[in-house]
Structure 1
Amino acid sequence: MLVESQVPLAPLSTLGVGGPAQYLVTATTEAEVVDALRWAHERELPVHVLGGGSNLVISDSGVRGLVLRIALRGLTRVRAGAGLCSFSVAAGEPWDDLVAQTVEANCQGLECLSGIPGLAGATPIQNVGAYGQEVSETIERVRVLDRHGLTVSELPAADCGFGYRDSLFKSRWPERYVVLGVTFRLREGAPAQLAYGELARHFDVPPRTAGPDTAPTDTAPATAAPSAGPSLRQVRAAVLELRKRKSMVLDASDPNRRSCGSFFVNALVHAEDVARVAAVAGAPPPAFPQPDGRLKVPSAWLIERAGLPRGTRLGPVGLSSRHTLALVAHDGATARDVLRFAHHVRQRVWERFGIRLVPEPDFWGFEETEARLPVLAAQAPLATP
């Protein structure tokens, strides 16, 4: 096991800001993950687990303790019964490589998640979702290392506490488990899922799901699946094209490339909040019913109607010119600049609509520097700038 010191982290993050890691270990085996955690424990050092760095904001002062970079590789496909197939993937496998393989194998369930940057191991933590699919719909089990006893086990999906962009790995026990691998159960030969309005319109078909047990979606009630429709390959190609138009795929030539994707999750609100927003905006916002009775309102809609169109900038940080939810770090930007602009966006939405936007990325190292803006905490009060 190689322990490196003072390793720059900005190149390991898609946002491209932040200082160094005090120590860094790149683990290519489960045994190295255990050794790294034991090494940090013996020195009473905090541990931060790094995947693809695509959902992360790192402090300008860097990160104290050990950054454990997960580089476990491996992908296995097995048949799981009539019409079903399972893919077991190591946490360090690039996510889109897995999606591409499932599509080529004609196994339905991940095609709408094409083009998302990052590694497979991060997907259950965030319950990654896009274009009408979430990984929680197809995850069968998650292989984890429990930091408390350094033991390996497999958690069934029902025990993972999945919610909207959430799981027990993120909110309940964020420092207990290290994800080592994920097993997905998919439908072999099933029709593609077109539950997302924008994607369905691309193919000029009504929104639908792949089957009766598919989870509810954010757009319209599902209709019966037709006997024929676009192939999984066609849906993957369409998703990649839609994401490219929004600068949501990694492209070194794209001026919007330095971001961590959607910076804010969509707002979960009550009916009275939607009524208030409609009265202020002069038009009702899109509002999608959720299982808990709340309504999901697109944060991009709120941001734009708070007077912040795409391309808005404050210094070296601004909204993407193609996607309202992406905060872009341009040349010369620092982590402090990113947080200052994020605060500005949240404040504008709060002052106009009385809704607090919740950041989606993880924030590392800010407890150790005055650059931290406490207002970015999900439940923190918003002060007038």
Structure 2
Amino acid sequence: MNTARTPALPKLSAYTTLRLGGPARHFVSAVTSEDLVAAVREADAAGEPVLLLGGGSNLVVADAGFDGTLIEVANTGWRRDDGDVVEVEAGQNWDAFVAGLVGAGLGGLECLSGIPGSVGATPIQNVGAYGCEVAESIVSLELYDRRTREVRTLKADELGFAYRTSVLKGTDTGVVLSVRFEIREDGLSAPIRYAELARTLGVEIGARVPAAEAREAVLELRRGKGMVLDPDDHDTWSAGSFFTNPIVPSAEADGVLARITDSVGSEAPQYPAEGGVKLSAAWLIERAGFAKGYPGPGNRVSLSTKHTLALTNRGDATTEDLLALAREVRDGVYERFGVRLHPEPLLINCVI
């Protein structure tokens, strides 16, 4: 097994995009799929809790850290498989992979440009942005099943994809080793569905454009919202969108929407969703009184100055500072509108 194991780890703040989190008890770096399986098996045999680390972009780790083994998923690379399918290692940096596809004249994932993190994390929460989700392109994935101690292949229809979730979310029994995506060989983007992106590109909804043009437009939009990692910009010291857009069940939607309209004097943006109506978390946060840059404890954390959905570390914050701000925003939205916001990142050894 080609893994490097250390008895202790510096604080996880060195490994997360929030720059927050205490130490782990052990640290293992797995550079191949075989190493990853072996490391998980070893920790399981020892009865050791396991935390998998990809890009660290979707983790909120407690100040106390993680009392177990942190396994860095460091297997990288991707290859063409069966013409319009590519297979990608779980530890591959997501945006570098998307850039590589576009550079090779391949399309289909360009609207997901600029998203931090690793490939293996994308199916777990069905990562999406600008009108696209990975569920639309995933063919299958290979994972290690910790219950059966076997490597399995799951097809897309077995993954239970829905808005920002899958059967893999909320459970640690499956360890993603690689993911297979269907791509477009004509070099054109997926149909543009997001109005803001269509306006930036100067095209109609549903149009297809060269994948490289779509990628650059998405990156431009993300930079404007502090959603492209930049060590010199504290607005990017975040876990991306901290709250998912809430889905109000159909039976409750009319009452909730009427309450919002009565409260703010205008109708909330709404979108059809399975089983209900999807609302904009950012819109609700702003109308509940939390503007861009809204500060948390001691000004050590704040909402991003560019985008109200991102909670940011201003340089010397603690995880508890961040959680306090998250609670204030969540509770403020609920008290004003009766809508409960739920966190998108994975909370490790902490709650809001």
Q: 1:336 aligns to what SS in structure 2?
A: helix
- Measure the CA separation in 2 of the matches of 1:263 and 1:246: 14
Asked if residue 78 in structure 1 is aligned to residue 81 in structure 2, the reply is yes
Deviation at 1:38, TM superposition (A): 2.4
Q: Quick one: percent identity of the two aligned structures? A: 45
Deviation at 1:199, TM superposition (A): 0.1
Aligned-pair RMSD on alpha carbons?
1.3
Which one-letter code corresponds to 2:70 in the other structure?
V
Q: 2:124 aligns to what SS in structure 1?
A: helix
Match of 1:306 among 258, 273, 288: 288
Asked if residue 250 in structure 1 is aligned to residue 229 in structure 2, the reply is yes
Deviation at 1:190, TM superposition (A): 6.2
Report Cα offsets for 1:190-214 as digits up to 9, x if no partner. Answer: 6422100100011222211xxxxxx
Deviation at 1:134, TM superposition (A): 0.2
- Measure the CA separation in 2 of the matches of 1:231 and 1:100: 13
Alignment of 1:259-338 (within 5 A): 259-269=238-248, 270=250, 271-272=253-254, 273-290=256-273, 292-314=274-296, 315=298, 316-338=300-322
Report Cα offsets for 1:17-45 as digits up to 9, x if no partner. Answer: 11001111111122222221222123211
Match of 1:232 among 211, 232, 245: 211
Q: Which moved more, 1:35-44 or 1:195-204?
A: 35-44
Alignment of 1:191-202 (within 5 A): 191-192=188-189, 193-202=191-200
Partner of 2:13: 10
- Measure the CA separation in 2 of the matches of 1:343 and 1:32: 39
Partner of 1:23: 26
TM-score, L = length of structure 2: 0.94
Q: 1:199 aligns to what SS in structure 2?
A: helix
- Measure the CA separation in 2 of the matches of 1:241 and 1:68: 33
Corresponding pairs, count? 342
Task: Tell me if structure 2 keeps the 8 A contact 1:73–1:91.
Answer: yes
- Measure the CA separation in 2 of the matches of 1:78 and 1:176: 27
- Measure the CA separation in 1 of the matches of 2:234 and 2:77: 33
- Measure the CA separation in 2 of the matches of 1:31 and 1:204: 47
Alignment of 1:24-103 (within 5 A): 24-80=27-83, 85-103=84-102
Deviation at 1:60, TM superposition (A): 0.4
Q: 1:149 aligns to what SS in structure 2?
A: coil
- Measure the CA separation in 2 of the matches of 1:274 and 1:51: 39
For structure 2, list consecutive stretches of 5 or more residues without a partner in the other structure: none
Alignment of 1:111-260 (within 5 A): 111-171=110-170, 174-189=171-186, 191-192=188-189, 193-208=191-206, 225=207, 230-260=209-239
Report Cα offsets for 1:158-194 as digits up to 9, x if no partner. Answer: 00111100001103xx111000010001222164221
Q: 1:108 aligns to what SS in structure 2?
A: coil
Report Cα offsets for 1:54-109 as digits up to 9, x if no partner. Answer: 011011011011111100112101343xxxx1110000111011111222233221
Task: Tell me if structure 1 keeps the 8 A contact 2:234–2:315.
Answer: no
Q: 1:124 aligns to what SS in structure 2?
A: coil
Task: Tell me if structure 2 keeps the 8 A contact 1:274–1:287.
Answer: no
Q: 1:341 to 1:317 in 2, by over 3 A?
A: same
